[in-house]
Amino acid sequence: MDTLELYQKRTIREEHSTISDLYVDGSLFCNVLEDTWREYIEGDCSWKVPKKTAIPAGRYHVVPHSSPRFHKRLPMLEDVPCFDCILIHSGNKPEDTEGCLLVGVHNGHDWIGQSRPTYAALMVFIERAWEIGQEVFITIED
């Protein structure tokens, strides 16, 4: 296989967040917490509420990014309409994301737990793919 495919299916719209199931190469792996889902209007960014809006559904190339905020290399989604620097990282609640994808286990309203170990486990797959020259993609579906 020449790509690592991540697939994110949004399943729960909560008060301040959106919860998804994340699959790695077809197998359920964890949950994702994002900001609030809002209907995307193509070509118009007025629908977006800064730091409080989930990214549009679509397929995105995932590339390594040296994060000055986190002081390490993180996966970044390229070419997300109306957004800059969308990362995959650990965190538990909507306040921990500014549009980024937080990975963990959904276990409460607007909350995911076990984020750090889940992120570390996901990075094993992503780093391995990058090391052997595979491209990484994520498809996000509403």
pLDDT, tens only, 13-41: 998 999 999 999 999 999 999 999 999 98
Indicate yes or no: pTM above 0.85. yes
Q: What are the angstrom distances between the C-alpha of 77 and each of 61, 87, 109, 138?
A: 6, 6, 26, 8
